[in-house]
Structure 1
Amino acid sequence: MPGSVRVRAPGKINLFLEVGDVQPDGYHDVASVYQAVSLVEQVTATPADAFSVRVVDESGAAVPGVPTDDRNLALRAARLVAREVGYLGGVHLDIRKAVPVAGGMGGGSADAAAALVACDALWGAGLTSPALHELAARLGADVPFSLLGGSAVGTGRGDRLSPALARARFDWVIVTDGGGLSTPAVYAELDRLRGGGRPDIEPAPRPPAVDPVILQALRSGSPDVLAGALRNDLQDAACALRPDLADLLDQGAAAGAVAGLVSGSGPTVAFLAAGDESARRLQQTLSAAGRRARHVYGPVTGAKVVTR
């Protein structure tokens, strides 16, 4: 058994998100196009007698708001692998976070995906990709995509994936803040808005589906074409809970973004740029205005071992 295994897994942006009506179990079916971006989580798994986790940010400081008990998704992933393969020992997980907490970019899901891959490698379990995907789907709708990476279509709860071809790199500037948004709260606000007579955001009278236009836009490699196809049904709900997000979207457009949208359930906002240099200028402009802006790009690969 190696002394430790280090795995990196990417955060994601939802380029397209159509949300269906609420189901009897309280959940919503969705159709989404994900893109994995270069903001990555790093998880190091080390043999231990018990299961434990430590979470720090890129500077090594503790990260508030992330549980370190069995509510932690990465720790649950490690226990899931142990049960699956009959491993009787434990593991210590060191998580170095770059993806914003509760920011709509799937940071917790990336941690879980990284933990699945790290524990499989650490314990020499030899789980197949389909087996890891099945375990990932048990943990949450975004975890399978964190394993896959790239660009992909997700349907059902978002965990039924098929790769989407993206011919070019797309540059983004993401803007974060210190306050997260609860995903269940954003979905509940969407249901409230729909119940209040908002025909513009009513669910379609069919299962959610990805518009072929966005897949064509990804294949084109053109930021201008992609800009016209971006969609997030949760954006109005996120902006209703956080009206400042609408101001931020306007600010990014004025600063030269090709397009902007709330990422997933927010509150992170992703601005599409015309290219690398445009993204750098946009980041500088937003940073000078007091925003926490970061230049990233996609698509990138999913969870992978970087050291053993």
Structure 2
Amino acid sequence: MTSLPETPTAVTVRAPAKVNLELFVGPLRPDGFHALSTIYQAVGLYDEVTVAEADEWGIVVHGRDADRVPADESNLAMRAARLIAAALGVETPLHLTIDKEIPVAGGMAGGSADAAAALLACETLWGGRHTREQLDTLAATLGSDVPFLLHGGTAIGSGRGEVITPVLAKGTYHWVFVPSSGEGLSTPSVYGAFDRRQAGLDLPEPVPSPAMMSALRAGDPDALAAVLANDLQEDAIALHPPIGEILHAAMDFGALGGLVSGSGPTVALLADGPEGAIDLAVALTASGVADDVRRATGPVHGAHVVPTPRRS
């Protein structure tokens, strides 16, 4: 007699961080967001979210900067779980466990990664009743970066960043990330500084740069380094001057290029290969320029189910 497969009572999903290879900011939209054109790349720093059926709703956060992450209903992963439960008409409470590796408030979309992971974990736990397009729609209501973290790889983000179009990108890129040793930068504060700096200017509708598309198609790290761009970088540096010092030092230490990741303050540095990434990381820490560095490669896959949780 063949037994039926058991319904899982817990699911763990791993989701990556992102770096914006270019981020162009356009005019304000009627909904209060800026029009954006960005090139996302998913990189191999991961958070894991485990959802498990429970007697009541709850959440616990472990790992890097866990004390800076809300462990209540305001947590984006909890909001994602509540959202998909309501969409499916499921009343079973869940307990969420988040294991963090992605820097908090660092411009690498750690909260969005957690939300993407929670969406996929709940969808898997409750039987996979949404299409990917429907999941994308739910994801977009949670945040502009969340749909991309479901997909991963390399992609254009348009609209306010939530409309995802995959990009043909060759090769593997080696990154060194320098998180802030202090508090992060809030996205609203960086955009506020941008708005003050651009006051009175007529911003054009942003579009991807042909040079970026060409560099990605060629899989050429040197070409990519030359076209890394972020319209928010000047404002992030003004709010957190050590960013500029790290970027300047990194170029002296052999980085091919660098930029602020998203709204910052994490600095993303492109190296010429695995050995170059190691050398750059060592130079930054040995010189005292950086207290903490993280190496990762990209592009990587988006949110995906892993066989077993790290922590029960």
**TM-score normalised over the length of structure 1:** 0.94
Identity %: 51
In the alignment, the residues of structure 1 paired with residue 48 and residue 202 of structure 2 have an alpha-carbon distance, to the nearest angstrom, of 37
Query: What is the deviation of 1:64?
Result: 2.0
Quick one: distance in 2 between partners of 1:84 and 1:19? 32
1:32 matched residue in structure 2: 38
Instruction: Name the CA distance, whole Å, in 2 between partners of 1:89 and 1:5.
Output: 15
> Of 106, 114, 133, which residue of structure 1 is paired with 2:117?
114
Aligned partner letter, 1:273: A
Q: Does 1:105 align with 2:108?
A: yes
User: Does 2:303 align with 1:299?
Assistant: no
**Gap change, CA 1:203 and 1:174, over 3 Å in 2:** farther
Indicate the SS of the match to 1:228.
helix
Are residues 1:160 and 2:125 paired?
Answer: no
SS at match of 1:166: coil
Gap regions ≥5 residues in structure 1: none
Question: Displacement, 1:50?
Answer: 2.3
Aligned to 2:3: none
**1:127 aligned counterpart, secondary structure:** coil
Per-residue Cα deviation, 1:168-216 (whole angstroms, up to 9, x for no partner):
0000000012320000000000011122x8xxxx6643x1111121011
Q: Structure 1 segments of 4 or more deviating over 6 A?
A: none
Q: What's 2:62 paired with?
A: 56
Distance 1:286 1:100 in 2: 18
The aligned runs of 1:201-240 (5 Å cut-off) are: 204-205=203-204, 207-240=205-238
Partner SS, residue 87 of structure 1: coil
- Structure 2 distance, partners of 1:109, 1:298, is 18
In structure 1, what residue type is equivalent to 2:54? Answer: A
State the alpha-carbon separation in 1 of the partners of residues 202 and 258 from structure 2. 22
- Structure 1 position 67, deviation (Å): 1.1
- What amino acid sits opposite 2:87 in the alignment? E
**Cross-structure match for 2:4:** none
Match of 1:15 in 2: 21
Amino acid at match of 1:30: L
Deviation (angstroms), 1:3: 3.0
Distance 1:190 1:86 in 2: 41
Bigger Cα displacement from structure 2, 279-288 vs 150-159:
279-288
Distance, in Å, in 2 between the alignment partners of 1:223 and 1:299 is 13
Alignment of 1:247-286 (within 5 A): 247-286=245-284
Q: Whole-Å Cα distance in 1 between the matches of residues 63 and 45 of structure 2?
A: 12
Counterpart code for 2:306: V
Contact 1:74 1:111 in 2 (8 A): yes
8 Å CA contact retained: 1:19, 1:203? no
For 2:29 and 2:87, the matched residues in 1 are separated by 30
| Partner SS, residue 50 of structure 1 | coil
Which one of the candidate residues 76, 81, 101 is aligned to 2:79? 76
CA distance, structure 1, for counterparts of residue 146 and residue 202 of structure 2: 25
Q: CA deviation at 1:24?
A: 4.4
Deviation track 1:121-162 (CA, whole Å, cap 9, x = no partner) reads: 112243211111111011010000000000000001001110
Task: Measure, in 2, the Cα distance between the counterparts of 1:41 and 1:233.
Answer: 27
| 1:39 match: secondary structure | strand
The one-letter code matched in structure 1 to 2:19 is I
- The letter of the residue matching 1:262 is V
**How many aligned positions are there?**
299
Superposition deviation, residue 296 in structure 1: 0.5
Gap runs ≥5 in structure 2:
1-6
Task: Give the SS at the match of 1:64.
Answer: helix
RMSD (Å), alpha carbons: 1.4
Report Cα offsets for 1:231-285 as digits up to 9, x if no partner: 1000001001011111111011111100010000000000000111101110111
